[in-house]
Amino acid sequence: MLPTFVIGLREGLEAALIVGIIASFLGQQGRRDALRKVWIGVGIAVAICVVVAVALQVLSSDLPQRQQEQLETVIGVVAVLMVSYMVLWMRRHSRDLRGDLEGAAGRALAEGSASALVMMAFLAVLREGFETSVFLLATFNESSNPWYGGTGAALGILLAAFIGYGIYRGGVRLNLSRFFRITGVVLVLVAAGLVATAVMTAFEGGWIDRGAQAFDLSWLVRPGTPIASVLTGVLGIQPYPTWPMVAGWLVYAVPMTAVVLWPAKRRPKPTADADGRTDPETAPTSDPATA
DSSP the chain: -HHHHHHHHHHHHHHHHHHHHHHHHHHHTT-HHHHHHHHHHHHHHHHHHHHHHHHHHHHHHHS-HHHHHHHHHHHHHHHHHHHHHHHHHHHHHGGGHHHHHHHHHHHHHHTT-SHHHHHHHHHHHHHHHHHHHHHHHHHHHT-S-HHHHHHHHHHHHHHHHHHHHHHHHT-----HHHHHHHHHHHHHHHHHHHHHHHHHHHHHTTSS----B----TTT--TTSHHHHHHHHHH---SS-BHHHHHHHHHHHHHHHHHHHSPPPPPPPP-B-TTSPBPTTT-----GGG-
- The answer to whether residue 184 sits within a structural domain is yes
- The answer to whether residue 273 sits within a structural domain is no
Does the structure show a pLDDT above 70 at 208?
yes
- The answer to whether residue 38 sits within a structural domain is yes
Compute the distance between CA of residue 155 and CA of residue 38 in angstroms, rounded to an integer.
24
Segment 17-56, tens digit of pLDDT: 778 777 777 777 777 777 788 888 888 888 888 888 788 7
When mean pLDDT is compared across 11-15, 71-75, 103-107, 145-149, the lowest value belongs to 145-149
Q: Give pLDDT, residue 243.
A: 93
- The answer to whether residue 288 sits within a structural domain is no
Domain that holds residue 163: 2-267
When mean pLDDT is compared across 1-5, 190-194, 220-224, the lowest value belongs to 1-5
Q: Give pLDDT, residue 272.
A: 45
Q: Give pLDDT, residue 138.
A: 72
Total domains, the chain: 1
Mean pLDDT of the chain: 75
Q: How far is CA 55 from the centre of its chain?
A: 20
- The answer to whether residue 60 sits within a structural domain is yes
- The answer to whether residue 24 sits within a structural domain is yes
Q: Give pLDDT, residue 249.
A: 93
- The answer to whether residue 279 sits within a structural domain is no
Segment 109-162, tens digit of pLDDT: 666 566 777 787 788 788 777 777 777 777 666 555 666 667 777 888 888 888
